[in-house]
Amino acid sequence: MRYVERVLEQLKAKNPGEPEFHQAATEILTSLEPVLSRHPEYEAAGLLERFIEPERVILFRVPWVDDKGCVHVNKGYRVQFNSAIGPYKGGLRFHPSVNLSIIKFLGLEQILKNSLTGLPIGGGKGGSDFDPKGKSDAEVMRFCQSFMTELCRHVGQDTDVPAGDIGVGGREIGYLFGQYKRIRNEHVGVLTGRGLSYGGSLARTEATGYGLVYMTAEAMKCRGDSFEGKTVIISGSGNVAIYACEKAQTLGAKVVAMYDSNGYIYDKNGIKLNVIKDIKEVERGRIKTYADRVDGAIYHEGCKGIWAIPCDVALPCATQNEIDEASAKLLVKNGVKYVGEGANMPTTLEGIAVFQKAGTVFLPAKAANAGGVATSALEMAQSSSRLFWTFEEVDRKLKGIMESIYHNMDEAAREYGMEGNYVAGANLAGFKKVAEAMMAQGIV
Ligand code: NDP
């Protein structure tokens, strides 16, 4: 049996009931075959077996008290996956769907994503099944304090540096940081995505969405194309979606649809982003109310229908497995030319196959959404040096990083005879550096 097949079979047997982890591992490992056949020494060193096993998994209880005095208990997770090229780095997700499988798939992806940025950061991920939606600020604060009371003994600026993800934005990072500082008595860059008044970086908030659009624009430029006049669909209406929309609009595109987990809005005149920002960033409300505020906009209950809207560019920016085979086929039928993944693993394996067969330019998450973690690494550099850069300086570096990731994965795909296959290109380019570092460090 081939090495990859054998490792995948072992992974499924040893980690039953973890479908998202199996899915991510299958996507990654199967695309690494060309590099493994060039390096037989990797198999002898058990490199893949070590690569897919987290260095450490931390599971903990998070008890907290709501405003009525009732006690709740949530699950807390931190997966410290791989530190071969730098301290563990990856976000925290607070969402009721969070489980070990999801955190492990995100952590595995994160290793290669972080490597692709060219910066010295390893891979990790964490979170909780806590749902911040509908909770008061005081409840969110008590939850974050309880979460960090345990997490603080496992993280540190040179060990593991978490950041935000779904359900963890500026408010949550602030509460988590406050508790870390209180317990450890050190004001250090242990979390990224911090507020500007306490060590954060300009442009971090915008980074993932902007970065996604910078990379898509570079892919377009290489084909003599641009965002100018393009019709764009963006799923989600959170941090990544909002700033992807902002940058796409700045580059001349018309974004016609967005959603939250209840349903989507279609605005044929182009989304008014200031209205979305008011609803989502200020009021923490539902996207449905957009249709009450903007003439001509229509709200549809449920999310799936968004992919039936004809567009040139689709930017899935909400969550995993948003685009399945049927949705991918609809997008292709309606003429989509570019798909850039802002969310992590938003396209199923079958959906990816549809895009690749149709010749759609498909930019996979670990490359296309790496702008967030890249800027987090820039935040780490700024906090260590205690010198902070202007918005323009960070934004310029971000754009440069995204363009260079695009070219690195493009070249890796060509080098292994898979021109235009960026899923393989991103995995191969990201894996190369991690594999070399792991080989150099012995069997650990
Ligand atoms: P946010 O919490 O800010 O926004 C998430 C958005 O997705 C919300 O609009 C939310 O709707 C929607 N959503 C969440 N779950 C579902 C679901 N099951 N079905 C439909 N819609 C859903 O998160 P982010 O914008 O930070 O993250 C979005 C994605 O991008 C995630 O996959 C994350 O891992 C990835 N990512 C984020 C980075 C960052 O810097 N923030 C960096 C790299 C990747 P609702 O409000 O109704 O829940």
**15-63 residue pLDDT tens:** 999 999 999 999 999 999 999 999 999 999 999 999 999 999 999 999 9
Classify residue 48: in a domain, yes or no: yes
Instruction: Find residue 302's DSSP bridge partners.
Output: 263
Rounded to the nearest angstrom, the distance between the alpha carbon of 317 and the centre of ligand 1 is 6
Nearest to 113 by CA among 290, 288, 285, 342: 342
Nearest ligand 1 atom, CA 106: 34
Rounded to the nearest angstrom, the distance between the alpha carbon of 156 and the centre of ligand 1 is 26
Classify residue 172: in a domain, yes or no: yes
Task: Identify whether residues 154 and 42 lie together within a single domain.
Answer: no
Q: Which two tokens stand for residue 48?
A: 């893949």
Q: Which of the listed residues 333, 368, 403 is the one where a domain comes to its end?
A: 368
Q: What angle do CA 253, 289, 210 make, to 5 degrees?
A: 30
Rounded distance, CA 216 to CA 375, Å? 18
Residues with CB under 6 A from ligand 1: 164-167, 169, 208, 236-241, 260-262, 303, 317-319, 342-344, 369, 372
pLDDT for residue 64: 98
What positions carry a catalytic annotation?
A: 125
How much is the average pLDDT of 333-359? 97
What is the separation of C-alpha 276 from the centre of its chain, rounded to a whole number of angstroms?
21
pLDDT for residue 364: 97
Q: Look at the chain and report how many structural domains it folds into.
A: 3
pLDDT for residue 307: 98
Domain that holds residue 344: 207-368
Q: Which two tokens stand for residue 200?
A: 């954060």
pTM of the model: 0.94
* DSSP strand pairing (361-363 vs 338-340): parallel
Q: Pocket of ligand 1, candidates 240, 271, 369, 378: which has the most ligand atoms within 8 Å of its Cβ, to mutate?
A: 240
Task: Identify whether residues 60 and 41 lie together within a single domain.
Answer: no
Q: Please answer whether residues 244 and 342 qualify as being in contact, where contact means their C-beta atoms are separated by less than 8 angstroms.
A: yes
Task: Identify whether residues 219 and 355 lie together within a single domain.
Answer: yes
How much is the average pLDDT of 73-82? 98
Cβ-proximal residues to 212 (8 Å cutoff; 6+ apart), any chain:
240, 244, 247, 315, 317, 340, 341, 342, 363, 368, 369, 371
Task: Identify whether residues 355 and 292 lie together within a single domain.
Answer: yes
Classify residue 389: in a domain, yes or no: no
Q: Which of the listed residues 316, 337, 368 is the one where a domain comes to its end?
A: 368
Nearest ligand 1 atom, CA 280: 46
pLDDT digits (tens, 9 = 90+) for 168-215: 999 999 999 999 999 999 999 999 999 999 999 999 999 999 999 999
CATH assignment of the domain containing 84: 3.40.50.10860
Classify residue 345: in a domain, yes or no: yes
Classify residue 407: in a domain, yes or no: no
Classify residue 375: in a domain, yes or no: no
